[in-house]
């Protein structure tokens, strides 16, 4: 199978590319390298430096004729989306539509979309949230992810494009960017390894569902081979607070310092955790990596990087 991966130089996308190539697939990567890194791209992948909004994208589809698409390229910073919702929509909605139009024109059979569990549900009514939980996104980022899911239903019903939307919890692991606003695991890890003081917004009691990147990769691979059309949560069903995360990473890094609490960010969700029962029943997926073990792998990756 030939799979085109948008955002394939990024944190999650590059791991998906590696797994697909290891399984014997041909892989094409589109990435504008705005946040992805060329060093992340598997040398056996065909790489195109391009923006998903470009008219050039259709020519790539025409040349490569992929059977399936994993669409991960996106503006992923929630705070950027709040500050500039127009930019967020241009990348996450218009960019996705550009890819989808090329899929229809060039006979793509399957589309796997990186959606968001926490961002589209907003402040939850019950815990953990199932896929039928009310959708109350609190950021333009969450709105764009949900919007693309609606477009996917349209493209399936009208054009026959098979699709699976994967609503990720908070993904962490090797190659995560420690320099943006997203990725608290990577940010904490790098700061502690360097002996710098990590910053916690508010009292640190806010919780998230942290899922290891290797588990997310397996969900993508299973979705590519599935005939299921719809959305799945990809998480652990377990909440961990920022304070829990700080303690676990402190233990893993051997950090001897302290943390700094700053005022909470306006509009930040207090609790987010998602139920993975549907993807387990339909595709047989469940998380395998315990948080403490996954953090250990992540710390070792960053320890090697800063040597």
Same domain, 160 and 19: yes
Q: What is the CATH number of the domain that holds 202?
A: 3.90.25.10
Using pLDDT thresholds of 50, 70 and 90, give the confidence band for residue 181. Answer: low
Same domain, 157 and 106: yes
Using pLDDT thresholds of 50, 70 and 90, give the confidence band for residue 34. Answer: very high
Same domain, 156 and 261: no
For the chain, percent of residues with pLDDT exceeding 70 = 99
Domain membership of residue 37 as a residue range: 2-169+211-235+276-283
Same domain, 95 and 179: no
227: Cα within 13 Å, side-chain hemisphere? 0
Same domain, 70 and 182: no
What does the pLDDT read at residue 179? 78
Which active-site residues does the annotation give?
Answer: 141
pTM: 0.97
Q: What is the CATH number of the domain that holds 6?
A: 3.40.50.720
Neighbours of 221 (CB within 10 A): 20
For the chain, percent of residues with pLDDT exceeding 90 = 95
- pLDDT, tens digit (0-9, with 9 covering 90-100), for 73-87: 999 999 899 999 999
């Amino acid at each position: 199978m030939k799979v085109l991966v948008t955002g394939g130089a990024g944190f999650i996308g590059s791991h998906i590319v590696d797994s697909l190539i290891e399984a014997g697939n041909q892989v094409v990567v589109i990435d504008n390298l705005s946040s992805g890194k060329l060093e992340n791209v598997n040398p056996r992948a065909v790489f195109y430096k391009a923006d998903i909004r470009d008219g050039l994208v259709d020519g790539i589809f025409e040349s490569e004729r992929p059977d399936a698409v994993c669409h991960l390229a996106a503006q992923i910073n929630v705070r950027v989306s709040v500050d500039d919702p127009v930019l967020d929509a241009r990348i996450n909605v218009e960019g996705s539509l550009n890819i989808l139009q090329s899929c229809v024109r060039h006979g793509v059979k399957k589309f796997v979309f990186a959606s968001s569990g926490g961002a589209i549900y907003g402040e939850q009514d019950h815990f953990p949230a199932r896929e039928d939980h009310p959708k109350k996104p609190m950021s333009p980022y969450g709105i764009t992810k949900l919007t693309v899911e609606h477009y996917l239903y349209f493209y399936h019903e009208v054009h026959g494009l098979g699709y699976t939307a994967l609503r990720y919890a908070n993904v962490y692991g090797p190659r995560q960017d420690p320099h943006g606003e997203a990725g608290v695991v990577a940010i904490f890890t790098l700061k502690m390894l360097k002996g710098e003081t990590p910053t916690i917004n508010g009292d640190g009691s806010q919780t998230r569902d942290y899922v290891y990147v290797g588990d997310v990769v397996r969900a993508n691979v299973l979705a590519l081979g599935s005939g299921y059309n719809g959305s799945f949560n990809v998480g652990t069903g377990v909440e961990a607070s920022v304070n829990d995360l700080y303690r676990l990473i402190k233990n893993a890094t051997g950090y001897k310092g302290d943390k700094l609490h700053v005022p909470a960010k306006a509009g930040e969700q207090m609790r987010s955790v998602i139920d993975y029962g549907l993807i387990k029943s339909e595709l047989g997926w469940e998380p395998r990596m315990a948080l403490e073990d996954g953090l250990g792998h992540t710390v070792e990756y960053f320890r090697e990087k800063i040597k």
